[in-house]
Amino acid sequence: ETGVTQTPRHLVMGMTNKKSLKCEQHLGHNAMYWYKQSAKKPLELMFVYNFKEQTENNSVPSRFSPECPNSSHLFLHLHTLQPEDSALYLCASSQELRFTDTQYFGPGTRLTVL
Amino acid sequence: AQSVTQPDIHITVSEGASLELRCNYSYGATPYLFWYVQSPGQGLQLLLKYFSGDTLVQGIKGFEAEFKRSQSSFNLRKPSVHWSDAAEYFCAVVSMEYGNKLVFGAGTILRVKS
């Protein structure tokens, strides 16, 4: 699926670093999502944006800071992360913010925090 | 607690054999049900979904799933598995009881023997 792209695909960072994950969707969708996929755990919804406005923050620690400058781009800014934040971070988009709309996922960014 | 359960962490089948992946949910009302597949290094792709109507749902890649209300189950099936089906499979549920968000099971890893 090339409709949703994510960069970088892999990222290694120290606990004191600041980095950003980027997601871009080429599908003309209005809703975008960040998910965290940890080993042996179900996907966890982190943030939801609808028409650039954040509609959901699923009790995510403040060391994760999302940004949605327009409906096509979504960023996740990272700072002072912990080793337990190591995971695959997936971006998704859907046409509208409706549960009946299919979510299209990017390939993810594999994050390792040392 | 509301949850989505995929009892099998790993399943191995021979190429050409039939496949059934199990999914159970514990929501009170009939939820909306989905199956996603994640190939190595890829994002999640929707295989099929059930909202209402015929309880046997056809999806892409030759997969089907059957909703059984009495068993709170939505098992995924394929009559003849191909080596390219090796991937991780996720059952997911949307329920008004959980704010109309996608809630995922922990996944089942499918290995295909040649």
Instruction: Tell if the CB–CB gap between B106 and A99 is shorter than 8 Å.
Output: no
Residue for token digits 């992360």?
A81
Closest residue by Cα to residue A21 from A3, A34, A39: A34
Return the number of CB contacts < 8 Å for A and B: 48
Predicted confidence at residue A113, as pLDDT, reads 94
Closest residue on chain A to B4 (Cα): A42
Residue A15 vs residues A86, A112, B91: alpha-carbon distances, Å: 11, 10, 34
Least confident of A55-64, A73-82, B96-105: B96-105
Q: Which helix (H) or strand (E) holds A18?
A: strand A18-25
Nearest to A1 among B43, B49, B102 (CB): B43
Cβ atoms < 10 Å from Cβ of A7: 13
Q: pLDDT-derived band of residue B2, with 50, 70 and 90 as boundaries?
A: low
Least confident of A58-67, A69-78, B57-66, B90-99: B90-99
Segment B2-27 mean pLDDT: 93
Token duo for residue A74 = 């979504």
B-chain residues near A90 (CB < 8 A): 43-44
Distance CA B15, CA B28 (A): 37
Q: pLDDT-derived band of residue A23, with 50, 70 and 90 as boundaries?
A: very high
Segment B14-24 mean pLDDT: 97
Segment B16-22 mean pLDDT: 97
Sequential DSSP letters for A41-101: S--EEEEEEETTEEEEE-S--TTEEEEEEETTEEEEEEES--GGG-EEEEEEEESSS-TTS
Distance CA A29, CA B20 (A): 33
Residue B42 vs residues A6, A22, B54: alpha-carbon distances, Å: 11, 16, 31
Q: Is the dihedral of CA A49, B33, B106, B109 positive or negative?
A: negative
A-chain residues near B23 (CB < 8 A): none
